[in-house]
């Protein structure tokens, strides 16, 4: 791993819980000595990407926030998606997420939470496994088989619950089912007692660029709700897809 890669890796680590790390711990994670890690961190601190707290541990700095804010404004995800997501949230009274591929990782980029006290936790920036989550399955379903095989070989495919499908054959079959019915289901496959449904959002050419999902505690889900939620979800995804082709739409496809 060269210096540039170590810098990127440092930023990725600091973006993960507990969001605050000492220099020794960071050095171990990137395979670098304490002095070398300190030098990399000092450069990041000088440029505002990392800050050192009073306890001498490091966290992400203001520059990262400003870049993220600029990115969000440029592609207009929140501005574009939130009204649709809030309407769907109010219809189902459960969490609604928007996910996109960030590199090769399905990632939550916008989130609207349920008004209910008991709800599924999560936050913007959370990765979602392509083989177990509603968002991940939806995005993966429209990739070619060779891409899925490459992801399967690269990622540590592990059983997140006793319902997780881990064999390539079962994963490919599951993704084929997503394409057939038009939406994905994650029934306690990503997390115990959690249920999710995801549907694709397409650009004017028909390419899937994002996925919208409903997430709820499994205890509140029955077959009637699955039928209702999937109908409302697909309708919302289709409306969002259609509006992309409307002249003057505020959403930019620079993703």
For the chain, domain boundaries: 3-66, 76-243
pLDDT for res 125: 81
Q: How far apart are alpha carbons 85 and 232 in whole angstroms?
A: 11
Q: Could you tell me what percent of the chain has a pLDDT over 90?
A: 65
pTM above 0.75, yes or no: no
- Token pair of 100 as six digits: 């996109």
Distance between alpha carbon 113 and the CA centroid of its chain, in Å? 15
Average pLDDT rounded to a whole number, residues 108-127:
87
Q: How far apart are alpha carbons 186 and 213 in whole angstroms?
A: 10
pLDDT confidence bin for 76, thresholds 50/70/90: low
**5 near 16, Cβ under 8 Å?**
no
pLDDT confidence bin for 226, thresholds 50/70/90: very high
**Mind listing the pLDDT tens digit for each residue in 153-191?**
987 799 999 999 999 999 999 999 999 999 999 999 999
Q: How far apart are alpha carbons 213 and 225 in whole angstroms?
A: 14
Average pLDDT rounded to a whole number, residues 69-85:
74
**13 near 20, Cβ under 8 Å?**
no
E strand or H helix at 99, and its extent? Answer: strand 95-102
**237 near 117, Cβ under 8 Å?**
no
Q: How far apart are alpha carbons 65 and 63 in whole angstroms?
A: 5
List the alpha helices (DSSP H) in 123-222: 134-141, 145-154, 168-181
Q: Kind of pairing, strands 95-102 and 105-112?
A: antiparallel
List the alpha helices (DSSP H) in the chain: 3-14, 23-30, 34-46, 62-75, 77-92, 134-141, 145-154, 168-181, 223-243
Q: Kind of pairing, strands 194-202 and 208-217?
A: antiparallel
Q: Could you tell me what percent of the chain has a pLDDT over 70?
A: 91
pLDDT for res 73: 59
Which CATH number is 76-243 given? 3.30.450.40
Does the bond joining 118 to the residue before it have cis omega, within 30 degrees of 0? no
pLDDT confidence bin for 72, thresholds 50/70/90: low
Which CATH number is 3-66 given? 1.10.10.10
């Amino acid at each position: 791993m060269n210096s540039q890669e170590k810098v990127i890796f440092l930023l990725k680590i600091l973006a993960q819980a507990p969001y605050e790390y000492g220099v020794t711990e960071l050095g171990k994670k990137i395979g670098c000595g304490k002095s070398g890690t300190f030098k990399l961190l000092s450069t990041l601190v000088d440029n505002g990407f990392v800050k050192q707290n009073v306890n001498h541990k490091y966290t992400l700095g203001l520059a990262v926030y400003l870049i993220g804010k600029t990115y969000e404004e440029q592609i207009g995800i929140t501005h574009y998606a939130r009204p649709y997501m809030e309407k769907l949230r109010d219809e189902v009274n459960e969490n609604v997420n928007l996910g996109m591929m960030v590199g090769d990782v399905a990632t939550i980029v916008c989130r609207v939470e349920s008004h209910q006290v008991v709800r599924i936790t999560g936050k913007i920036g959370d990765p979602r496994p392509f083989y177990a989550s509603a968002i991940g399955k939806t995005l993966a379903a429209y990739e070619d088989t060779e891409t899925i095989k490459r992801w399967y070989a690269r990622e540590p495919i592990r059983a997140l619950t006793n319902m997780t499908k881990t064999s390539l054959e079962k994963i490919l079959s599951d993704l084929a089912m997503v394409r057939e019915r038009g939406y994905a289901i994650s029934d306690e496959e990503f997390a115990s007692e959690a249920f999710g449904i995801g549907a694709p959002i397409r650009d004017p050419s028909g390419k899937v660029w994002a996925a919208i999902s409903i997430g709820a505690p499994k205890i509140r889900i029955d077959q009637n709700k699955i039928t209702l939620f999937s109908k409302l979800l697909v309708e919302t995804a289709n409306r969002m897809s259609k509006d992309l082709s409307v002249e003057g739409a505020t959403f930019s496809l620079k993703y």
